[in-house]
């Protein structure tokens, strides 16, 4: 799971494997596989770094070191 922060400051964790796409328009929006949209404070670059770190931790992809 990765930590995200909603615009209202509420922090919670999501499964990054459920993210279909990330949009920056100008707010950063996570489009989930379920069809839900989550607007977050993090930048796309921060989210990608967190996803890569998570995948390293679980050993999902050895080539992401």
pLDDT digit string (tens) for 33-49? 999 999 999 999 999 99
CA-to-CA dists, residue 55 to 1, 18, 36, 49, 60, angstroms: 9, 13, 22, 10, 5
Q: Residues near 2 by Cβ (< 8 Å), separated by ≥ 6?
A: 13, 14, 16, 47, 50, 51, 54
Per-residue confidence band for 1, with pLDDT thresholds at 50, 70 and 90: very high
pTM of this structure: 0.85
Say how far apart CA 60 and CA 34 lie, in whole Å. Answer: 22
- Predicted confidence at residue 62, as pLDDT, reads 64
Say how far apart CA 6 and CA 10 lie, in whole Å. Answer: 5
């Amino acid at each position: 799971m990765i930590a995200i922060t909603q615009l209202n400051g509420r922090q919670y964790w999501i499964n990054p494997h459920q993210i279909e796409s990330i949009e920056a328009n100008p707010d950063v929006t996570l489009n989930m596989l379920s069809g839900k949209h989550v607007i977050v404070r993090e930048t796309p670059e921060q989210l990608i770094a967190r996803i890569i770190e998570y995948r390293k931790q679980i050993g999902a992809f050895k080539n992401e070191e």
